[in-house]
Structure 1
Amino acid sequence: MTTLLISDLHLHPGAPRITEGFLHWLEERARGCDALYILGDFFEAWIGDDLLELGEQDPTGNAALAARIAAALKQLADSGTAIYMMHGNRDFLLGERFASDAGATLLSDPSVVALGNERVLLMHGDSLCTRDEAYQAFRAQARHPLWQEQVLSMPIQERIALARQMREQSGEANSSKAEDIMDVTPSEVESAMAEHGVTTLIHGHTHRPAVHALEVEGRPAKRYVLGDWQPGKGWEIVIEDGGEPRLEAFSLS
């Protein structure tokens, strides 16, 4: 029994080495595993599942990329690997159509799942960064069904422009924030783990791969943070035969 977890690939047409590295990883590493969990920010941006209808008519290249990725995931799913996807702060509009094309199941954030011999809390991780009050306000707005409905009703080209504008604004805002503000709030981590009755948490988002030891209600606990993928390197968590999670970096060459 092998389970793999990944996060923060930020796939987009401008990063072909990461795309090719991921497709190679699917064939060489994920093929034959029992389950694959993708914990958000799989795509750099997602403007709605109707993007898939544009195909080659999409000048940004995102539609063709998404179709290629969905086909590769579906091939893995058809071979027997269960695939689960969680929304991130970049691709929170990812919907059931893409999931169906990819042979994947959408997971809510947070979710508690049985991995190995224990219950594990899975999150993207952005909800844990409560010291970033400006971002949390935007997150609450962007997750609201009415806001999403309004955005999805916009013409695709307007959504493409909106996504570009939001990425630029996010980059400008983050450049002036203190590093600790964009990391998780320790008390929020402990609260989330206690609420769900777990001693293991796995998340991404912060791009700070590490394994943190902590205590939750007097019990030893661990927080595993997945890293973001770069042109030459990817990150995964591996759980084999009911053992403990292993955080590993690997070459995308």
Structure 2
Amino acid sequence: MIHFISDLHLHESRPETTQAFLDYLIGPARQCESLWILGDLFEAWTGDDDLSLPFSARIADALAAVAHSGVQVRILVGNRDFLLGNAFAKRSGVQIVQEPTLLQLGDHRTVLVHGDAQCTDDKRYQCFRRIVRNRLLQTIFHALPFILRRRIASRLRAQSEKSKAGKSMFIMDVNRDAIAALFKQSGAEWLIHGHTHRPAIHEHAEGTRFVLSDWQGKASGLCWNGENLSPF
């Protein structure tokens, strides 16, 4: 059994969702062969020294317990936690995987992404994404004092929420041409992603697209049971 989840946006200000995740990790997740987290596990991640914070350390240790129980835990970073690094992976026992990544679900070649790179109609966001994913700028950012980085991250989150309020839902959704290109490049017939917070199953000419839900105080995702892919 394989579980796919995304967009938990874990943060101290969201205790119900945090507790739902911790409960999930000691319950349903232990029944899986593997668990895929397709981005935005955290609301924000300013670098692996976030592990010095009790909240972040608690989440990492809970994931480590699952990994040590024999579950393979893999993470694709999202737009909120793209600075997850080797120290987090080592402490939590997870494997950080680059997107897009492919796996076989029965007879179905499946491609996994977070989903933000396919929201190409949002030109301002894509420009911002290219800037913050630049390795040199990330190195400079990591060199800043931890407290300053957290302040910058908090300001960027506030600006992001303000920006989203002024954008149409169409702009913030994935672009059909970008999805078609991903299907073509990967050779997949199934696509699983998150980011948009619009859980649904979409049929495209190129294949089937499964959109994961965000977490709002309870566990949510997709389960592959060896034969079918269904929501939980």
- Shorter-chain TM band: over 0.9
Q: Whole-Å Cα distance in 2 between the matches of residues 142 and 115 of structure 1?
A: 33
Q: Please give the secondary structure, in 1, of the residue aligned with 2:59.
A: helix
- Of residues 126, 136, 158 in structure 1, which corresponds to 2:116? 126
Q: Whole-Å Cα distance in 2 between the matches of residues 50 and 26 of structure 1?
A: 23
TM-score (norm 2): 0.97
Q: Please give the secondary structure, in 1, of the residue aligned with 2:114.
A: coil
Q: How does 1:200-215 map to 2 (within 5 A)?
A: 200-215=190-205
1:203 maps to a residue whose letter is H
Identify the residue that residue 77 of structure 2 maps to in structure 1: 87
Q: Whole-Å Cα distance in 2 between the matches of residues 83 and 114 of structure 1?
A: 16
1:244 maps to a residue whose letter is N
Q: Please give the secondary structure, in 1, of the residue aligned with 2:170.
A: helix
Contact 1:237–1:245 (CA<8 Å) still a contact in 2? yes
Q: Whole-Å Cα distance in 2 between the matches of residues 206 and 247 of structure 1?
A: 16
Identify the residue that residue 74 of structure 1 maps to in structure 2: 64
1:228 maps to a residue whose letter is D
Identify the residue that residue 98 of structure 2 maps to in structure 1: 108
Unmatched segments (≥5 aa) in structure 1 = 55-62, 249-253
Contact 2:202–2:209 (CA<8 Å) still a contact in 1? yes
The alpha-carbon deviation at position 119 of structure 1 amounts to 2.1
Q: Whole-Å Cα distance in 1 between the matches of residues 65 and 195 of structure 2?
A: 27
Identify the residue that residue 229 of structure 2 maps to in structure 1: 245
Unmatched segments (≥5 aa) in structure 2 = none
The alpha-carbon deviation at position 32 of structure 1 amounts to 2.5
State the superposition RMSD in angstroms: 1.0
Q: Please give the secondary structure, in 1, of the residue aligned with 2:174.
A: coil
Q: How does 1:227-246 map to 2 (within 5 A)?
A: 227-231=213-217, 233-241=218-226, 243-246=227-230
| Runs of 4 or more above 4 Å deviation | none
More strand by share: 1
The alpha-carbon deviation at position 110 of structure 1 amounts to 1.2
Q: Please give the secondary structure, in 2, of the residue aligned with 1:113.
A: strand
Identify the residue that residue 209 of structure 2 maps to in structure 1: 223
Contact 2:24–2:219 (CA<8 Å) still a contact in 1? no
Contact 1:40–1:88 (CA<8 Å) still a contact in 2? yes
Q: Whole-Å Cα distance in 1 between the matches of residues 106 and 71 of structure 2?
A: 16
